[in-house]
Amino acid sequence: MLLYCGYNGEITMIKFPYGDADFYSIITENYFFVDRTDKIRLIEDMSKKLLFLRPRRFGKSLWLSILENYYDIRKEDEFERLFGHLAIGQNPTPLHNQYLVLKWNFSGVDSSGDERDLHRSLHNQLNGYIEIFKARYRNILDYEIILDPHDALRSLRSVLAAAQTANLKLYLLIDEYDNFANEVLMGGDPSCPQRYEKLVRGEGILKTVFKVIKEGLEGQGIDRLFITGVSPLVMSDITSGFNVAKNISLWPQFNDLCGFWETEVADAMVQVGEQCQLPPEKMQEALTIMRTFYDGYSFYYEAKPNLYNSTLALYFLDYLVQNCHYPRQILDSNLSMDSNKIAYIAQLPQGKQVVEQALNEANPLTIFQLKDQFGLKEMLQQRHDQTFMVSLLYYFGVITLTTEQTSSNKLTFRIPNLVIRKLYMERIHKMILPDFLSRQEADRIVENFYQTGEMQPLCDYVMRKQFAIFDNRDLRWTNELTFKTLFLTLLFNDTVYIMDSEPALQRKYGDLIMLVRPDSRKFQLLDFLIEFKYVPLGKNNLTGEQVKGMSQQELLSLESVKARLAEAKKQLTSYRTTLTQVYGTGYLRLRTYTVVSVGYDRLVWQEVKREGIV
């Protein structure tokens, strides 16, 4: 797709619209813009009533702004200025600039307070948008729109009467339709499910809103509707009142409606490099960082290559062009609240195990089909099947589709990138170490490990603090994944490390690889490659108390432990060779370890060097 900077064709300094979802200002103020306007014709032909779901901060609001400017009857004189250089401007549809456009955004609704407060906030929000609509079209509409301060739906009916009187069609755009309802549901208070249910059941305000919209679509003034949101949860719960929108979220032609391809990011990077006068190798280094942390999303079963989160990419590029080096903080703080979604899923029945399995690259989450309908009743039931849990994680944007399928034609899912993996790590870290003093102690031990490679203090801490958190019920699921997760949550640090090198190593990597970020190599930090092995107590006919009483040497002499250490040494030698081939001799300050857990009672470890075990 075309990358565009400057609507008048002039050469300008590149600017990135991070945090700006206003198409009009992006174009008229010469900001970077990736053209997806060729999709407008497809959308027109698809249906008059559409639902489009994507994770938070993925560019949905900008897409609605594009539609608003394309169809708005008031912008007809500016069509050439806004769209003439874009794909749709070269071959516009007959419907451009033929509509009155009313846009609502539900993310501004205050989700706190009781049912009456929610009603008032929603009515105020909708009335505010109707008041803006009234002001914008005052020179076009002769019929006076009456605003009812207590009933926004009555105000909407007045808007529809005005449109019909003028013999004009209305295009209704609804952004983040499920935002405040999801906040109510996931607020963390025991009363939240009941508060949510009052919104979407019976004569609940949200259900009533969509019933009135449905009436408007039945020849009463609304001609077209485009809704964005995160998940189908709320839509499923209001479906008896509103069941006419076609969900295009998984249609292949709309896979990249939001998000950037790597070629588009790379083209932007070239312009940044020229503006900052940076050498090509520095820009390639920056692109590698972006790929590792931001790439990886797919919204169709067979789509490839993967998409970048556009908001995260713009955050990085905006910082880079203004400072001529990339940001120390890779995670945009506006995305960090998504860790609450992981926490919410983890507290659902069987949720903890699904969240943990998402971290297992060797055994990814699989289901036959994504659920596109599930409501509150299903969410609150005591047992959830894998399909429900995986679908919810997918819609929240914390796992994504892969192009791989199992031998039985199941879909597979993975964590898209390191930014999202960090959200998992932070949430699990808080679950494992809830108190502040324990986290402070862990931070000191981990920082020492980064610089010295001293493994014993780290293992002592895991045995003393983290093993104690597993009760007998949790131990039913313990394996190498759980064991690895404990270390990963402690050691994860994307400020100075890249914690994953799958693209570079072509899937030939150890359980945990920590490579110092290029911009942190001037500091005294080591690179690490760690292989984890787990030996169940039953393998040695020993109890936990017996294992705790054994010396380190006695543990190392156990046949099951020796076998696992030998297996790890062979794997680490191969991985180390691969790393050397990729990065060359002398670039990495690599320390290589194998750590074996005997039950969840003792840890033994050995350092593996080229010449053997130390």
Q: Above 90 in pLDDT, residue 54? A: yes
293-341: per-residue pLDDT in tens? 898 899 998 877 789 999 999 999 999 999 999 898 887 776 666 777 8
Least confident of 336-345, 441-450, 506-515: 506-515
Whole-number pLDDT of residue 175: 96
To the nearest whole number, what is the mean pLDDT of the chain?
Answer: 86
If we measure between CA atoms, which residue out of 298, 284, 412, 362 comes closest to residue 55? 298
If we measure between CA atoms, which residue out of 315, 321, 262 comes closest to residue 292? 262
> What is the rounded CA–CA span in Å between residue 531 and residue 565?
9
Give yes or no for a contact between 445 and 461, defined as CB atoms under 8 angstroms apart. yes
What is the dotted CATH code of the domain comprising 38-254? 3.40.50
Q: Above 90 in pLDDT, residue 27? A: yes
Q: What DSSP state is assigned to residue 334?
A: G
Q: Pick from 197-201, 356-360, 440-444 the range whose average pLDDT is largest.
A: 440-444
522-556: per-residue pLDDT in tens? 999 999 999 999 998 888 788 888 988 999 999 99
Least confident of 315-329, 379-393, 449-463, 554-568: 379-393
Give yes or no for a contact between 107 and 176, defined as CB atoms under 8 angstroms apart. yes
Whole-number pLDDT of residue 505: 46
> What is the rounded CA–CA span in Å between residue 496 and residue 523?
9
Residue scoring higher pLDDT (272 or 195): 272
Instruction: Please state the pTM of the whole predicted model.
Output: 0.89
What six digits make up the tokens of 286? Answer: 């920056």
Whole-number pLDDT of residue 611: 54
> What is the rounded CA–CA span in Å between residue 89 and residue 99?
17
> What is the rounded CA–CA span in Å between residue 204 and residue 208?
6
Torsion of CA 204, 207, 209, 211, to 10 degrees: -130
Least confident of 350-359, 375-384, 597-606: 375-384
Q: H-helix or E-strand containing 234?
A: helix 233-237
What six digits make up the tokens of 546? Answer: 């017996």
Q: Above 90 in pLDDT, residue 579? A: no
What six digits make up the tokens of 365? Answer: 């989450």
Whole-number pLDDT of residue 510: 60
140-159: per-residue pLDDT in tens? 999 999 999 999 999 999 99
Whole-number pLDDT of residue 235: 83
User: At 433, phi and psi to the nearest 5?
Assistant: -120, 80
> What is the rounded CA–CA span in Å between residue 432 and residue 442?
12
The predicted model gives 456-460 an average pLDDT of 95
Neighbours of 101 (CB within 10 A): 23
Which amino acid would we find at residue 181? A
Domain ranges for the chain, please list them. Answer: 38-254, 262-327, 331-432, 451-614
> What is the rounded CA–CA span in Å between residue 593 and residue 614?
10
Whole-number pLDDT of residue 471: 46
Residue scoring higher pLDDT (200 or 208): 208
Q: Quick one: pLDDT band at residue 407, thresholds 50, 70, 90?
A: confident
User: At 404, phi and psi to the nearest 5?
Assistant: -85, 145
CA distances (Å), origin 489, targets 99, 265, 466, 540:
52, 30, 11, 29
Q: Above 90 in pLDDT, residue 603? A: yes
What six digits make up the tokens of 145? Answer: 């729109």
User: At 75, phi and psi to the nearest 5?
Assistant: -95, 15
Percent of the chain with pLDDT over 70: 89
Q: Above 80 in pLDDT, residue 57? A: yes
Give yes or no for a contact between 207 and 199, defined as CB atoms under 8 angstroms apart. yes
Q: Quick one: pLDDT band at residue 434, thresholds 50, 70, 90?
A: low
Whole-number pLDDT of residue 40: 98
> What is the rounded CA–CA span in Å between residue 373 and residue 249?
13
Torsion of CA 180, 183, 189, 193, to 10 degrees: 70
Q: Pick from 72-81, 406-415, 426-435 the range whose average pLDDT is largest.
A: 72-81
User: At 331, phi and psi to the nearest 5?
Assistant: -85, 120
Give yes or no for a contact between 397 and 58, defined as CB atoms under 8 angstroms apart. yes
70-118: per-residue pLDDT in tens? 999 999 999 999 999 999 999 999 999 999 999 999 988 888 878 888 8
If we measure between CA atoms, which residue out of 21, 13, 10, 6 comes closest to residue 334? 21
Give yes or no for a contact between 424 and 342, defined as CB atoms under 8 angstroms apart. yes
> What is the rounded CA–CA span in Å between residue 342 and residue 358?
11
Give yes or no for a contact between 296 and 400, defined as CB atoms under 8 angstroms apart. yes
Least confident of 110-124, 167-181, 476-490, 556-570: 476-490
Using the structure block, give the residue that is written with the tokens 């405040």: 180
Q: Above 50 in pLDDT, residue 474? A: no
Judging by beta carbons within 10 Å of its beta carbon (0-12, 13-18, 19+), is residue 209 exposed, middle or buried? buried
Q: Above 80 in pLDDT, residue 480? A: no
Q: Above 80 in pLDDT, residue 189? A: no
Q: Quick one: pLDDT band at residue 454, thresholds 50, 70, 90?
A: very high
Q: Give per-residue burial for 480-504: e unless 16+ CB within 10 Å, then b.
A: bbbbbbbbbbbbbbbeebbbbbeeb
Residue scoring higher pLDDT (450 or 442): 450
Whole-number pLDDT of residue 169: 96
Q: Pick from 171-175, 234-238, 245-249, 288-292 the range whose average pLDDT is largest.
A: 171-175
